[in-house]
Structure 1
Amino acid sequence: MTRPGWVLASEWTKIRSVRSTVWTLAAAVVVTVALGMLISFLISDSFEDLSSRERRTFDPTFISFAGTSLGQLAMIAFGVLVVSNEYSTGMIRASLAAVPQRGVLMAAKVSVATALALLVGMLTSFLTFFLGQAMLGEHSTDLGQPGVLRAVVGGGLYMGLMALFAMGVAWLLRSPMLSFGVLIPFFFMISGILANVSATEKIGDYLPDQAGSRIMAVVDDGERPYGPWTGMLIMLAWVAAALVAGYVGLKKRDA
């Protein structure tokens, strides 16, 4: 029986020794923080031009997370690369020879990658919040206000879960190009279109990114039929389904 500690150490070595995975995590931090600061500054500078309704529903916390829409793509890339690099290089055969218990191998990779993604996600979320609030100036809020700390911690959870969802899909599809070809257009275009077209918005509300991002909002704009924690549970259900599908693919198919 393979010792779990050895497998964990092996997966940690794989992840940190591949430059692409390190750079995608760095990109997630930089893009999310930089874009959040920029949008926050622009909103603060043009606050007087907002309509009365926009001022009533103004959410300084959610505004500072404006960069998450692009930063999440880097987290998706991290999740895909962590899994699919082994398939594209053929290393998966060596990994399965060393750890024939496929569930153990998957659990170790999920554990290491999730811990790293959540760590980076939390760091990104708190940086984004504090620097975004600095840009908002007099229109800012703070962690002591109701719902704000939940939103900031939720932002970190959201980014980590997005990487985990991508890992499940990558195990199912096994190809980096196919995984990127499905996930990037879906989250960058299709999800937003479905959520913002009246005929399909009820479907869009229950997609993983649309539901999960509700956790980062403090002010309820009335556009979602559920609250922040329900939205997070919906996202968790998507993540669980992706991981189960990925496990079935890993278990049933040859390397």
Structure 2
Amino acid sequence: MSSFPAVLQSEWTKIRTVASTTWSLISALVVTVGISAALCAVINNSFDGMAPQERATFDPTLASFAGMTLGQLAMIVFGVLVVGTEYSSGMIRTSLAAVPRRAEFLFGKLTVATGLALVVGLVTSFLSFFLGQAILGDRSIAISEPNVLRAVIGAGLYMAMIALFSMGMATILRSSILSLGILMPFFFLVSNILGAVEATRKVAQYFPDQAGGKIMQVVPGAMGSDPAPYSAWGGFGIMVLWTLAAVLGGYLVLKKRDA
């Protein structure tokens, strides 16, 4: 018989002793902060040459998270590996033998991993913001300005949701390779391409990354983008619904299928 605190301790031990999960979290932080800083420098140097509409709708807060597109891929890897490693190594059988109540096993794993992703996400978002604003100089914005703190905290929440969504999908698919083969092209290519095409834009804006990403935006229609039919928190709520659906699907698969 296992207790939930013991499950949490076990999952914490698994995550911190697997090098790939640790490095994926470090990569999420370094890539997001590094690329965001570099792009802020590019924006600052080329600001006067930008189109008038882009200058008028410039969002210095959102610019600080310009590296999130690539940084979130590392968070996807983290989420997939937390679950997928159990299946690829065969440890899932041992884990379920130790914790036969599958809901307790799954939600213990998700709780620990999501908590870690949230901590790293918040550290990443605050570092990205303050470094980005320092680089933007006269075009920067203070964190005390309306909705800026919401956007910074929201960026950290976004990264945690990306990780949790990835864990849910990996539990459904039961394979790290298959999960990464679907999630990484979807978030890096498919979603962005469909969001840029007029015919599919209205559908793409309800994808988890497109909707959730609005939480990082302070200026409506930033950089000439189309205004969304929902608020910043409304978009994040859509992302949460996607995530809950993935987690529920993962639980149902884990409950009904053998390890």
Q: TM-score with structure 2 length normalisation?
A: 0.97
1:97 paired with 2:80, answer: no
1:165 corresponds in structure 2 to 165
| Structure 1 segments (4+ residues) deviating >3 Å | none
Paired letter, 2:71: G
Aligned-partner Cα distance in 1 for 2:114–2:192: 26
1:18 corresponds in structure 2 to 18
Aligned-partner Cα distance in 1 for 2:161–2:146: 24
1:41 corresponds in structure 2 to 41
Give the match's secondary structure for 1:46.
helix
2:227 corresponds in structure 1 to 223
Give the match's secondary structure for 1:114.
helix
Aligned-partner Cα distance in 1 for 2:50–2:176: 43
Aligned-partner Cα distance in 2 for 1:52–1:80: 42
1:63-116 CA deviation, whole Å, 9 max, x = no partner?
110000000000000000000101000000000000000000011001100110
Aligned-partner Cα distance in 2 for 1:177–1:88: 9
1:177 corresponds in structure 2 to 177
1:178-227 CA deviation, whole Å, 9 max, x = no partner?
00011011001000111110010011000000000000000001431111
> 249, 253, 258: which one pairs with 1:245?
249
Q: What root-mean-square deviation, in Å, do the aligned CA atoms of Structure 1 and Structure 2 show?
A: 0.7
1:64 corresponds in structure 2 to 64
Aligned-partner Cα distance in 1 for 2:91–2:164: 21
Paired letter, 1:82: V
Count of aligned residue pairs for this structure pair: 255
Aligned-partner Cα distance in 1 for 2:52–2:228: 21
Q: CA deviation at 1:51?
A: 1.8
Structure 1 stretches lacking a partner, 5+ long = none
1:19-54 CA deviation, whole Å, 9 max, x = no partner?
000000000000000000000011001111112211
Aligned-partner Cα distance in 2 for 1:120–1:23: 12
Aligned-partner Cα distance in 2 for 1:51–1:182: 36
Q: TM-score with structure 1 length normalisation?
A: 0.99
1:153 paired with 2:153, answer: yes
